[in-house]
Chain A
Amino acid sequence: MKEAVTLGEHIVEIVSDSGEGAQRCGQSLGAIAAKSGNGVWTVEIIPAEIQPPARSIAGASGNRVRLGARRVTNGGDQADLVVAFNEQVLLGRVQAEELRPGATILLEGRWRNDRDPLVASAYAETYDELVGLGYRVLEIPMERECLKLVPDPRRGKNMFVLGMLCGIYSLDLELAREQVAITFGKKDAKVIATNVKLLEAGFAWAEENLDFKYRIPAVRATEPQVVMNGNTALALGILASGMEICAMYPITPATSASHYLSEVFERVGGIVHQAEDEIAACAFAIGASYAGKVAVTITSGPGYSLKQEGIGLAAMAEIPLVVVDVQRGGPSTGLPTKAEQGDLLAVLFGTHGDAPKVVYAVSGIEDCFYAMITARKIAETFNMVVVVLSDASLATAQQPFPRPVFSEDWLAAPVDQTPVPPGARPYDWDASTGLVRRFIPGQPGGMHTVTGLAHDRESHVAYDPQSNEDGLRHRSLKLAALQKTLRCPPVFGAAEGDLLVVGWGSSKGAIEEAVEGLRAEGHRVSALHLGFIQPMPSGIGDILRRFGKVMTVESSWADRPAEDPIVDADNRRYSALAMLLRSRYLVDVDCWTEARGRPITPGSVRSAILGALAREAVPA
Chain B
Amino acid sequence: MTMEVTRCLLQASDERHELGDYEQGVPRWCNGCGDNGILTTMQRLCRDNDLAPERTVFVSGIGCSSRLPHYMHTYGFHGTHGRALPIAEGVKMARPDLTVFVSTGDGDCLSIGAAHWIHALRYNMDLTVLLHDNRIYGLTKKQASPTSPLGTKSNTTPQGSYLEALNPLTVTLGVANVSFVAQAVDWIPELLYDILTAAYRHRGLSFVRIVQRCPEFMPGFFDPWMQDPRRTLILRHASGLTLSPAIAKTYTNQLEHDPSDIHRAREIASDEEPIPVGILYRDDDVPCYEDVRHAGAVRTAEQVRRGLAAELDRFTIWPDGAER
Contacts and interface: CB of A to CB of B under 8 A. Distances in A.
Contact of B98 (A221, A310, A441, A446): A441
Q: Which 4 A-B pairs have the closest CB atoms?
A: A287-B90, A449-B76, A269-B299, A292-B94
Nearest to B90: A287
B160 interface: no
A441 B86 contact: no
Interface residues of A, number: 75
A444 interface: yes
A34 to B, nearest CB: 6
Contacts of B80: 283, 309-310, 313, 452
A411 interface: yes
A441 B299 contact: no
B316 A403 contact: yes
B94 A408 contact: no
Contact of A450 (B77, B92, B298): B77
B238 interface: no
Contact of B94 (A224, A245, A267, A309): A245
B75 A447 contact: yes
Interface of A: 31, 34-35, 182, 220-228, 232, 236, 239-240, 242, 244-245, 247, 264, 266-271, 273, 275-277, 279-281, 283-293, 295, 309-310, 313, 317, 400, 403-404, 406, 408, 411, 414-415, 417, 441-453, 460-461
Contacts of B94: 244-245, 287-293, 295
Nearest to B321: A222
B58 A442 contact: no
B299 A268 contact: yes
A451 B294 contact: no
B311 A441 contact: no
A298 B98 CA distance: 26
Instruction: Give the most central of B85, B98, B295, B312: most A CB within 10 Å.
Output: B312
B303 A448 contact: no
Interface in B68-95: 69-70, 72-80, 83, 85-95
Contacts of A247: 90
B246 interface: no
Contacts of B312: 226, 236, 403-404
Interface string B1-28: 1110010000000000000000011000
A408 B301 contact: yes
B317 A283 contact: no
Among A227, A288, A313, max chain B CB count under 10 A is at: A288
Contacts of A266: 294
B55 interface: yes
Given A285-B90, A450-B77, A406 B319 contact: no
Contact of A448 (B6, B75, B90): B75
A247 B86 CA distance: 10
Interface string B101-143: 0000000000000011011000000000000000000000000
B93 A245 contact: yes
B318 to A, nearest CB: 5
Chain A, interface SS category: mixed
Interface centre among A225, A269, A309 (most CB of B within 10 A): A269
Nearest to A280: B86
Contact of A445 (B54, B309, B315): B54
A291 B86 contact: no
Given A244-B299, A444-B54, A417 B116 contact: no
7 contacts: A222-B319, A224-B318, A236-B308, A400-B317, A406-B308, A441-B54, A447-B74
Contacts of B315: 226-228, 232
A400 B316 CA distance: 9
B126 to A, nearest CB: 14
Contact of A273 (B1, B85, B93, B316): B93
A268 B308 CA distance: 8
A268 B319 contact: no
A289 B311 CA distance: 26
B263 to A, nearest CB: 27
Given A283-B79, A292-B95, A444-B54, A460 B70 contact: yes
B115 A406 contact: no
A463 to B, nearest CB: 12
A442 B70 contact: no
A258 B77 CA distance: 27
Contacts of B98: 291, 441-442
Contacts of B318: 224
A290 B91 contact: yes
A385 to B, nearest CB: 14
B57 interface: yes
B43 to A, nearest CB: 13
Contacts of B72: 449
A447 B6 contact: no
A313 B93 contact: no
Given A269-B297, A276-B86, 12 more contacts: A221-B319, A287-B89, A287-B92, A288-B90, A288-B93, A288-B94, A291-B94, A404-B308, A417-B3, A442-B3, A442-B95, A453-B78
Contacts of B314: 182
A267 B304 CA distance: 8
B54 A446 contact: yes
A279 B86 contact: yes
Contact of B90 (A227, A270, A290, A309): A290
B228 interface: no
B95 A414 contact: no
B319 A224 contact: yes
A284 B57 contact: no
B249 interface: no
B288 to A, nearest CB: 14
B54 A447 contact: yes
Contacts of A317: 77
A411 B301 contact: yes
A404 B118 CA distance: 43
Given A226-B312, A226-B315, A442-B55, A313 B79 contact: yes
Contacts of A31: 317
A253 to B, nearest CB: 20
Nearest to B3: A417
Most buried by A among B6, B76, B86: B86
A120 to B, nearest CB: 43
B316 A224 contact: yes
A291 B95 contact: yes
Interface in B279-324: 293-295, 297-299, 301, 303-312, 314-320, 322
Contact of A286 (B87, B115, B311, B322): B87
A228 B98 CA distance: 39
A447 B73 contact: yes
B308 A273 contact: no
Contacts of A270: 299
B185 interface: no
